Structure 1
Amino acid sequence: MFSLLIGLVIGFGLPVQTAINSRLRNIVDSPMRSSMISFSIGTIFLALVLLITMQGLIVPIATFAQQPWWIWIGGILGVVYLTGNIVLFPHLGAAQTVIMPVVGQLIMSMLIDNFGWFGLPRHTLTLVRVVGGIVVLFGVVLVVFTNSSAGTLKTAETRHASLVLPWQIAGICTGMLSAAQTAINGHLGTVLQSPEKAAFISFLVGTVALLLIVAIYEHGIHIRPAFSTHNPWWIWLGGVIGSLFVLGNAYLVPEIGTGLTVVIVLFGMISGGLVIDSLGWLGARRIKVKAIQLVGILILVCGVVLIKLF
């Protein structure tokens, strides 16, 4: 029961992180700077975890020569995913910013399983899993497109479905990259015999990449507005929540298995997105959640169960 509660909490925390980082983006006037701050805080937090648990921060030099190059790019994919969520949030709302990447994660995870990419064992795509994918898509349609709502902002820029669609496709693509990151970090954790160290390396690579991007593309690291005393204290928690999400998954998979972990965390993620939308937490626009959307969520979760548990 305690493990299930952890899964719900860390899943709920992911859309909270997105909302926090979106607020931080408005303060520093840049999604890249917001991501850089979040990744930096997450890296420091994970470094402290490794030091406290006496695991150390150093990776053996031989590991770099013996392992494939792609094992180190999880952090880059994480940068794209996190920054993408920050950009998507004001256009799609909290619920869609969670749900659209979920679709991409499921598609990519099925491809990874079927072809055995990133050094993972192959799991042939069965009819039951295909049916599960169709059920998930049907649930997403109910949640996202019912009565032209789905948590989109009714602004002049996003009023028409044809203008919202590109953002939804972008959300699916970021979800696919997130699934690839999970697979890469999982393999790295096996190689290093430490999921915590794999998460630290992923965050460290992402932080270095963002520092370089921000310094070059935005002509310097200008984050002084974030330190204003007028800002709420919780704008600094995004990176910590992201770190806890990674560590929570690392703890849960050995305890309750990958399938149940995905299902419980997903339920927490979607619930968190809808709660933020309906209550307007953390500066998000308040959007009424309809009963048919709740039905769509239940259908979506049933599809995930078919994909992950059978």
Structure 2
Amino acid sequence: MNELKAKSTTEKTVVVPLLLIATILAGMLSPMQSAVNGQVGKQLGDGNASAVISFGSGLVVMAIVILARKSTRQQFSSIPKKIASRSLPWWNWLAGCCGAMVVFSEGASASVLGVATFQTTLISGMVISGLVCDRLGIGVAIKQPFNFPRVLGALLAIVATVLVVLPSWQAPKVIALAILPFLAGLLAGWQPAGNSAVAQETGSMLVSITWNFIVGFSILGLALLIRIGMGQVTVSLPEAWWMYLGGPLGLLSIALMALLVRGLGLLLLGLASTAGQLIGSVLIDWLIPSLGNQVYLVTILGAVVALAGAGIAMVPSANKHVKLDELEGKS
């Protein structure tokens, strides 16, 4: 008995740190996606077009996945009837709008703000959104009241946002662009609840993710078509192959998180993935000067404060029992 316990303890000592490292690396996929979409938006001169390309590439991948299995094809084909039956509140079917806002803000502002500033403001918005959603009972079985740690986490998120935009305080245009990812983060906090509800209704998270991409692609595509028709924009496809990786990078991140959560649990997964996002953001801006973004000391400080705020805000949720199929990231 003691040998089995010692073996289990040893496995945890070795396996958990490895899983944490893997989660940090997986978290770095998010800033990579932001960097790709930001460069597409910069080349095309339009965040809307960049977001359509990102959603379109991801939708192609998910269509192949869904069509490959009979069960997922049947689950997906049941969506029109389920929407018509109104068994699920209609707003859950529109969770893809949140992802559309995130990806649009990447194309419109990531190349100007820098990946580190973009990700920090996005995460800060998500921390505050998570606090509000838990308080209102959105996506959770039990409402979580405001308490000191959770409010402190939200305040630290606001401080982090102020810190990362300080170097650009004299540039009103940049400050205005920083509002985009912050607002996207506020919306993204609700997205997992909507996607989880669709997954439970259809019986498949894969179907839910695909529907998420369809909604986002449709909204962004319609807006782009209207603007093209009005002569506001002329769109040409990017030539570099890597500029079509925005959607697939987001999907890979979601898939890895779904696998890693089994060994870590949601609390450790959330902390490690957030750390990966912020570390990856700073490294991208620092190691790839061709992106034209400078890493300031206050940018690094802001990223650290954002991680601290996210960690403090997550701790009260450690004892909440959340099903695996409730795990969902940005599209």
SS in 2 for 1:117: coil
Q: Structure 2 CA distance, aligned partners of 1:55 and 1:254?
A: 24
Does residue 306 (structure 1) correspond to residue 312 (structure 2)? The answer is yes
Give ranges in structure 1 of 5+ residues lacking alignment.
Answer: 153-158
Equivalent residue letter for 2:242: W
Aligned residues: 293
Q: Select the structure with the greater relative contact order (CA < 8 A; seq sep ≥ 6).
A: 1
- In our comparison, the structure showing a higher alpha carbon Rg is 2
Q: Structure 2 CA distance, aligned partners of 1:25 and 1:305?
A: 32
1:278 to 260, 280, 286: 286
Match of 2:327 in 1: none
- The root-mean-square deviation of aligned C-alpha atoms, in Å, is 2.6
1:185 to 188, 195, 212: 195
Equivalent residue letter for 2:50: S
Q: Structure 2 CA distance, aligned partners of 1:109 and 1:53?
A: 34
Q: Cα deviation per residue 1:256-298 (whole Å; 9 max; x = unaligned)?
A: 32222221111111111111111226x41141343x6545534
Match of 2:178 in 1: 168
Equivalent residue letter for 1:48: I
Given that residues 195 and 250 in structure 1 are in contact (C-alpha distance below 8 angstroms), is that contact kept between their aligned partners in structure 2? no
Equivalent residue letter for 1:256: L
1:120–1:253 Cα change, 3 Å: farther
How far off is 1:173 after superposition?
0.8
Given that residues 51 and 104 in structure 2 are in contact (C-alpha distance below 8 angstroms), is that contact kept between their aligned partners in structure 1? yes
2:220 to 207, 210, 218: 210
Match of 2:322 in 1: none
Q: Cα deviation per residue 1:132-175 (whole Å; 9 max; x = unaligned)?
A: 33344445555x15xx43xx5xxxxxx71544433333321111
How far off is 1:55 after superposition?
3.8
Does residue 257 (structure 1) correspond to residue 265 (structure 2)? The answer is yes
TM-score by length of 2: 0.79
Equivalent residue letter for 1:194: S
Given that residues 105 and 176 in structure 1 are in contact (C-alpha distance below 8 angstroms), is that contact kept between their aligned partners in structure 2? yes
Q: Structure 2 CA distance, aligned partners of 1:280 and 1:125?
A: 41
Q: Structure 2 CA distance, aligned partners of 1:45 and 1:12?
A: 21
Match of 1:156 in 2: none
Does residue 81 (structure 1) correspond to residue 81 (structure 2)? The answer is no
Q: Structure 2 CA distance, aligned partners of 1:48 and 1:121?
A: 37
Q: Structure 2 CA distance, aligned partners of 1:108 and 1:259?
A: 17
Give ranges in structure 2 of 5+ residues lacking alignment.
Answer: 1-15, 317-331
Q: Structure 2 CA distance, aligned partners of 1:275 and 1:232?
A: 22
Deviates more, 1:106-115 or 1:173-182: 173-182
Match of 2:26 in 1: 10
Given that residues 72 and 204 in structure 2 are in contact (C-alpha distance below 8 angstroms), is that contact kept between their aligned partners in structure 1? no
Q: Structure 2 CA distance, aligned partners of 1:218 and 1:212?
A: 10
Q: Structure 2 CA distance, aligned partners of 1:224 and 1:296?
A: 36
Q: Structure 2 CA distance, aligned partners of 1:169 and 1:234?
A: 27
1:124 to 145, 152, 162: 145
Given that residues 112 and 293 in structure 2 are in contact (C-alpha distance below 8 angstroms), is that contact kept between their aligned partners in structure 1? no
Equivalent residue letter for 2:23: G
Given that residues 51 and 100 in structure 2 are in contact (C-alpha distance below 8 angstroms), is that contact kept between their aligned partners in structure 1? yes
1:214–1:113 Cα change, 3 Å: same
1:207–1:141 Cα change, 3 Å: closer
1:50 to 66, 69, 88: 66
Deviates more, 1:178-187 or 1:21-30: 21-30
Q: Structure 2 CA distance, aligned partners of 1:169 and 1:258?
A: 28
Q: Structure 2 CA distance, aligned partners of 1:162 and 1:26?
A: 19
